[in-house]
A and B are shown apart, each in its own frame.
Chain A
Amino acid sequence: MDLSPTHLHLLLNHFPTIGFVIGLTLYVAALYANSDHLKQAALVIFVGVAIITIPTYASGNAAETAICVSDLDRPCADPAVSRPLIEEHEGAAFASLALMFVTGGFAWLGLYQYRRLLRLPRWNAVLILILALVTFAAVSRAANLGGEIRHPEIRVTQVTADAGRPLARVVGNFVRDWPPAWIIGETLHFVGLSLLIGVLLVINLRTLGVIQTVPFGALDRLLPWAVLGFGLNAVTGMLFFAAAYGQYVKGYAWYCKLAFIVIAGFNTLYFFFDKGWAVEPGQPARLTSRVVAFSALFFWVGVMYWGSMLPFLGNAF
């Protein structure tokens, strides 16, 4: 089977909508039943869906280049395919991706609060509910617009010539055309990278048996910095992508990087449920924890490797 980026997008684009329906239903049920276990399960789903949304969004632009063969800013070669409608879908997807990052971020904070405070503060429980509802509405709109691209029988959206440019093109073209934008983005991308890798390196090396005298409780306090670094990288990375997606989707290094980000993200999520945090100072972590820590290092270093190799592997740049 020849798996193309278009296949990938068709496969992944169900996760944000269906995943969010499941997460939201579970979360509302958890609030109603006041069940901490259900709340944590729903928060994991929110974070997981947010991670999967990154390749979902990125593969969308790859699918665009496959079905709309023409220069950018020109109509598609196939008259049955509407570039304005694709860009409308892209704009809606960009907005839902941004909302997904915010919802996923607060959901992660909720999981962290569960471990640190043993409860989810009311303010965050309410905020997550509101964000999840808004995100679900945005994702549903993006999904509906996406369906209209290839299904004229359900098409109701009319993109008029005088309509403003969709959000993703406004932001992407701004990053592309304003000279400082790329430099600022690159600098912040490295700040985020340093935070993320620095913290995860210390935590995973401790799990593997280095610096055993340092208690896990102390390292646990560093985790939010790693997540802030990841958030900064996710935002700046998607800004680069929106500005020049035509370059990224041509090289296989980009898809490898996305795959490694997803695996590494889920890997990091595992530690919320790992008993390794109960290990006393001076004691080695369990074998399972060490295996996961080793794989975490492998995949995060892999993310850096594929990111560095973007200009050199394939014909991306």
Chain B
Amino acid sequence: MHLALTVVAIVIAVTVAMGIVGVLIDRSTERHVNTPRNSGGTSQGDRQ
């Protein structure tokens, strides 16, 4: 039981930390987007 809880807790912690990093990267590269000679996208930023 202790083993299972340790595994779940650490896996969730690492996954959430990675998710936060991913969201931060997405946010920081979204707003000014002038992407890839971009031809549209899903966000307001991507349509600029």
Contact = CB atoms under 8 A, between A and B. Distances in A.
B38 A217 contact: yes
A266 interface: no
Given A116-B29, A180-B3, A216 B39 contact: yes
Interface string B19-31: 0011001100110
Given A218-B42, A224-B22, A228-B18, A115 B36 contact: yes
Interface in B5-48: 6-7, 10-11, 14-15, 18, 21-22, 25-26, 29-30, 32-43, 46
Interface of chain A: mostly helix, strand, loop or mixed = helix
A187 interface: yes
A277 B35 contact: yes
Contacts of B42: 218, 221
A281 interface: yes
Interface residues of B, number: 27
A183 interface: yes
Most B C-beta atoms less than 10 A away, residue of A184, A217, A225, A281 = A217
B15 A188 contact: yes
Interface residues of A, number: 29
Given A113-B29, A187-B7, A277 B36 contact: yes
Given A113-B29, A180-B3, A188-B11, A215 B22 contact: no
Interface string A203-237: 00000000000011110110011001000100000
B10 A220 contact: no
B40 A281 contact: yes
A280 interface: yes
Contact of A278 (B22, B25, B36, B46): B36
Given A220-B38, A221-B46, A232-B18, 12 more contacts: A115-B36, A116-B32, A117-B32, A117-B33, A117-B34, A191-B11, A217-B38, A218-B42, A220-B41, A221-B29, A221-B42, A277-B37
Interface of B: 3, 6-7, 10-11, 14-15, 18, 21-22, 25-26, 29-30, 32-43, 46
16 contacts: A117-B34, A184-B10, A188-B15, A191-B11, A215-B38, A216-B36, A216-B38, A217-B39, A220-B36, A221-B43, A224-B25, A224-B26, A228-B18, A277-B38, A281-B39, A281-B40
